[in-house]
Structure 1
Amino acid sequence: MKRDLTRERIVEAAYDLLNREGREALSTRAVCAASGVQSPTIYRLFGDKRGLLDAVACHGFEAYLAGKTALAETDDPVDDLRRGWDLHVEFGTSNPALYSLIYGDARPGVESPAAERASAVLAKQVKRIAEAGRLRVSEERAAHLIHAAGCGMVFTLISLPPQDRDPDLSTLARESVIAAVTTEPSTTPAKTDAVTAAVTLRSVAPTVTALTDNERALLSDWLNRIATTTDPAHHEQR
């Protein structure tokens, strides 16, 4: 219990420093002074400074994740994605230091725990679009594109003085990305291209009980090859 309380005190002190003075203020010495502990305590509880920064990011990210996961799902998963995008951009522009801490230090093959949790929420949103038959690229490609565009938009906006930020810029980027990865809903039967069909079936293939495990694995492999193929005919239909 004492260990947990000490850890919480250190994280909250570091988070306050981050908000008041920016990431540059998060030196081990400054955090120790603000929390009333010695540096060995920080290394014992967090392993290293990176571990402390990840803990601070998770602490500050809780409110964002709570808001994002609390968004009620509607019958339109694409519109749900729009709302998720807007919430992400609002969070980043309202918390620039925290956002930079979470996304501004890319490590190949490694995501901070906070970013990893956010990625899981995005993946779920994209999967719902695929299951609805409205995803024109693979789930992985769609998620990467949405993430890259969203992060780029936030960093662009926070680099500008508030009075110089174009209020329509985020909307334009959001709709461009959505147009690139989704199809329009259809109320009448229409010809479906191979990529969209493969993406849709791939999203539900693991639940197909009529096949054996080996057959499902083979089907998923085939569908993945189709879903990740750049088909010129597919793009012409856009």
Structure 2
Amino acid sequence: MDDAKARTRQQILEVAAGILEREGAQAVSTRSVAAAAGVRAASLYQFFGDKDGLLAALAIHAFDLYLAEKQTVTHTDDPVADMRGGWDVHVGFGLAHPAFYLLMFGTDVPGRRAPAAGQAHALLLRFLDRVAAAGRLRIPPAIAAELCMAAVTGVTLSLIGAPAEDRDPGISARMRDIVIDSLVTDPVPAAGPGLAPLALALDTAIAVGDRLPLRPVETALLRDWLGRLAR
């Protein structure tokens, strides 16, 4: 795509994003966006196909904004504290951009995964791998990620749906602490954390690290043993 076409596409996307944030997804139509952007409807169809294609592009655009806000979370030596910070940024983004959030994490078709769910899940796993590597995760990262995503999206959607005057500003923090505290152990004492967290930490290191000097069957067996020890 040449520079002129790329600029036109970005202009259309920004105009559509403005309509989405001001009026909601029901107001985003090929006709309304083309008129507001000052382009022919044919140009919009060329770039996005139809309304569903435009909304899909908006979901990607919204996720880029979401990632930019996630980058504001300062990484510390405490991965659990970073998890709490990541939770707060997630909820804050949803309340600041409710129409974007509903497009990213909502779905109007049962069984169809929300557009941003897979990407957000992968991002959360990075945080949880750090927690597991520190020996502080009670359960495997993949299961912890499912629980965290269900909780944080649930509380965010609940807050978005509540009238502003009825929102409890503390509900997100209470949910955050209940969920995260149930998933992690206390900081590792000098005497050692116990076998299960150490097994999880080693298994995570094997999963994300370099190749081991073991044959694949040996690596698989080792990870199976570690999984049993982590239960």
In structure 1, the partner of 2:143 is 141
Instruction: Check conservation: 1:131, 1:203, Cα contact below 8 A.
Output: yes
Post-superposition offset of 1:3: 1.7
In structure 2, the partner of 1:235 is none
Q: Summarize the Cα distance change of 1:11–1:199 in structure 2 as closer, same or farther, 3 Å threshold.
A: same
Cα distance in 2 for partners of 1:109, 1:127 equals 27
The 5-angstrom pairing of residues 163-174 of structure 1 reads 163-174=165-176
Identity of aligned residues (%): 43
Instruction: Check conservation: 2:104, 2:117, Cα contact below 8 A.
Output: yes
Instruction: Check conservation: 1:69, 1:121, Cα contact below 8 A.
Output: no
| 2:181 equivalent to 1:210 | no
Q: Note the alpha carbon deviations across 1:58-98, whole angstroms, 9 max, x for none.
A: 32333331121232211100000000101111110111111
Q: CA RMSD in A?
A: 2.3
In structure 1, the partner of 2:198 is 197
Cα distance in 2 for partners of 1:6, 1:61 equals 20
Greater mean deviation of Cα atoms: 179-188 or 207-216: 207-216
Q: Matched residue of 1:74: which SS?
A: coil
Cα distance in 1 for partners of 2:122, 2:188 equals 28
After TM superposition, the score normalised by the length of structure 1 is 0.85
* 4+ long deviations beyond 6 Å: none
After TM superposition, the score normalised by the length of structure 2 is 0.87
Greater mean deviation of Cα atoms: 3-12 or 148-157: 3-12
In structure 2, the partner of 1:236 is none
Cα distance in 2 for partners of 1:224, 1:177 equals 22
Q: Summarize the Cα distance change of 1:220–1:42 in structure 2 as closer, same or farther, 3 Å threshold.
A: farther
In structure 1, the partner of 2:33 is 31
Unaligned runs of 5+ in 2: none
